[in-house]
Structure 1
């Protein structure tokens, strides 16, 4: 699977990265297209809301205010992926002691099923390992089969069900966890 990704620059961090998530932008190739990954900034909130509307069929579960707060937290890392000037994906993670938590992941529907979500999840797993986290967790809607398959393929297991976690649609959420102490360090882009 990783053979379809061709990184254009050196991997964006070193083994010395600390928990405040130092990040250097980089570019990589996916399906012959060059994508740029960079840290999200507050001036991109409008683009994030537009992406959110596309991903969630016109709904924006996170408001501009939520993005504003999340993007400036020191213990968080929010990344955006651009194809030219078009925002095509984002992922966010927060570190709490020895646990990292993926707070949000969105991939433009036109870019789904091409490995971009997997790439971003592996990138965050790698960052969590570099930040000396023991676990990485996330919540997923109980009926989101594609996302559950992705997370399970990466080694996440269901720890508990959160009743009515997604209150807007009256759906339970699954808390899924990956034990990073048993994972090989670093992403294999081979």
Structure 2
């Protein structure tokens, strides 16, 4: 009973996450980073459908994630178009739930930028580490994560069952500077 109450209380007493919008310069372009809202669910779903042949989430999942006070989704866009988004869960640990960059913007440092913004945000809390899973076959993403201080922890067999792929669980320390 105590465990159920403790879980309920931790959920209801959690202050919703707030991100102050940022305007950054990346490769000579201005990019706005802002917190995604429920009104962005269809946009996030559209992005994932352009990134993945088999989209991992349903539209309803995005609505649920964006309504969850323990989740933070950031959307990156230039004055001319949307770039992508990143999501993070703040429950028992800080955990990246999603990173998607539109295909025509990949391999240009946008994923690095979004991930660094999220790492900086996570350092405002008392979480000792930031974790994520990455597809075993996604070498480019693994390289990005290693560059940002993530280390492989363990292999997760058949983590993505719809596409029969394994994942690598990775972690990096979060230190306040």
Which SS does the other structure have where 2:120 is aligned?
helix
1:146-165 to 2 correspondences below 5 Å: 146-165=140-159
C-alpha contact (below 8 Å) 2:15/2:69 kept by paired residues: no
Q: Indicate the residue corresponding to 1:105 in structure 2.
A: 99
Three-state SS of the structure 2 residue aligned to 1:91 is: strand
Partner of 1:87: 82
TM-score (structure 2 length as normaliser) = 0.86
Question: Following the alignment from structure 2 to structure 1, what is the Cα–Cα distance between the partners of residues 125 and 71?
Answer: 11
Q: Is the 8 A contact 2:83 2:110 kept in 1?
A: no
Cα distance change, pair 20–130 in 1 and its aligned pair in 2 (3 A) = farther
Segments of structure 1 that go 5 or more residues without pairing to the other structure are: 1-17, 186-190
8 Å CA contact retained: 1:159, 1:175: yes
SS at match of 1:130: coil
The count of aligned residue pairs is: 164
2 CA distance for matches of 1:62 and 1:150?
A: 23
Task: Provide the rounded CA distance (Å) in 1 between the counterparts of 2:160 and 2:142.
Answer: 15
Number of the residue aligned with 1:32: 28
Q: Residue by residue, what CA displacement relative to the aligned partner does 1:93-126 show, whole Å, maximum 9, x if unpaired?
A: 01123x2000000011111111111111111111
Segments ≥4 residues shifted beyond 4 Å:
none
Q: Distance in 1 between matches of 2:89 and 2:74?
A: 12
1: CA distance, partners of 2:80 / 2:73: 18
| Change in 2 beyond 3 A, CA 1:131/1:122 | same
Q: Which of residues 90, 109, 113 is equivalent to 1:115?
A: 109
TM-score, length of structure 1 as denominator length = 0.80
User: Are 1:19 and 1:131, in contact at CA under 8 Å, matched by a contact in 2?
Assistant: no
Listed one character per residue, the Cα deviations across residues 51-110 of structure 1 (whole Å, up to 9, x for unaligned) are 1111114x321111100110111111101111236321100001123x200000001111
Higher relative contact order (CA 8 A, sep 6+): 1
CA distance in 2, matches of 1:165, 1:139: 9
Candidates 58, 64, 70, aligned match of 1:69: 64
Answer yes or no: is the 8 Å Cα contact 2:89–2:97 preserved in 1. yes
Query: 1:168: how far off?
Result: 1.0
